[in-house]
Amino acid sequence: MNKWITGELHTHTIASDGSFTFSSLLQQAKMENIDLLAITDHNVFHSIDDIEKLEQQYNIDIISGMEWTTFYGHLVILGMNKYLDWRTMSPNQIDQRLSKMKKQDVVLGIAHPFRVGGPLATGCHWEYDIQNWSNIDYIEVWSYLNPHTSAASKRAFEFWISKLDEGEFITAIYGRDWHRVEDMKGKVTGKNYILVNDSCYKTSTLSALRSGKVVVSIGPLIKFNLIDVNNIDIGQRWVTNKIMTTFKCSIENTSITSDMQLTLLSNKGVIFSAAAESYISSDLSIENINWVIAILKQNDDIVAFTNPIYISRGE
Ligand SMILES: [Zn+2]
Ligand SMILES: [Zn+2]
């Protein structure tokens, strides 16, 4: 049975440079009704025993993670069961090292690729020259605070779209890079809606991150499907010879305002646009379309966007 949950996938505690204890982080997450959390301290691995104790104590699912923090970029590693050493690496070995890490069955995500770091936070900007993008499961296309308006998020969004156009399968997510509560005062934070398919949120979130079953938003959830015999969900790779289909989008009514637009963006540019409504369905030509996402906009700002439905030709 499919279900939407919310997950925050980039957090820090006092084990690295956050101000949260485990307990204050988990209490805060509970207050925000977050269903699943990843703890991703800089170059610190928390033992699975510790994580399991916290899960029981706070009744929240926690993915064990780490932010691999280097001079040339930050990489979030999720779902590992041991410390992955990062110290002996030079930038020209990046593909080799990512391939080696992937063999441990972890999920790899590039953190805040276009953030300009402060003088004491080196390496925030992603500089590694990756050749083999199939090692990367996701990019934090939205990051930190006010992600819908930040210049770094806009650049990351363009970068992600260019990778989709090159034929890569890369999931977009939001990473709050959550260090302390005070930072959030008066600021907007984003959220990830994750489509999970069983009661183990952790396993199903890791697979949702690999395939792209995530909607990134500052509030509303957009449900976007193409209709074949069954619904085709985001993250799905649909093999078809059809050139026409029907799409449907639903958005919670209470979050829609009259200045919002729903747009479908693809490798062929914008293929549908209309004033946002709680339910929109229309015929859609998918000739030469390889990927399509739904975007909810308010004026020029993106309020929410889905990951792609990928389309390829064949029976
Ligand atoms: Zn970082
Ligand atoms: Zn971080």
Distance 17 CA to ligand 1 centre (A): 10
The helices-and-strands tally (H runs, E runs) of the chain is 5, 19
Say if CB 26 and CB 56 are below 8 A apart: no
Q: Select 3-217's CATH number: 3.30.70.330, 3.40.50.2300, 3.10.20.30, 3.20.20.140.
A: 3.20.20.140
Distance 189 CA to ligand 1 centre (A): 16
Return the number of other C-beta atoms located less than 10 Å from residue 280's C-beta.
Answer: 18
DSSP reduced 3-state for 221 = coil
Nearest bound ligand to CA 16? Answer: 2
Q: Select 222-313's CATH number: 2.115.10.20, 2.60.40.1930, 3.30.470.20, 3.40.50.150.
A: 2.60.40.1930
Distance 128 CA to ligand 1 centre (A): 14
What is the predicted pLDDT for the residue at 143? Answer: 96
pTM above 0.85, yes or no: yes
Nearest bound ligand to CA 152? Answer: 1
119 pLDDT band, cuts 50/70/90, is: low
Return the number of other C-beta atoms located less than 10 Å from residue 78's C-beta.
Answer: 23
Distance 79 CA to ligand 1 centre (A): 18
Report whether pLDDT(120) > 80.
no
d(CA 77, CA 45): 10
More confident residue, 206 or 117: 206
Distance 77 CA to ligand 2 centre (A): 11
DSSP reduced 3-state for 210 = helix
Distance 189 CA to ligand 2 centre (A): 15
- Token pair of 288 as six digits: 């030469």
Distance 75 CA to ligand 2 centre (A): 9
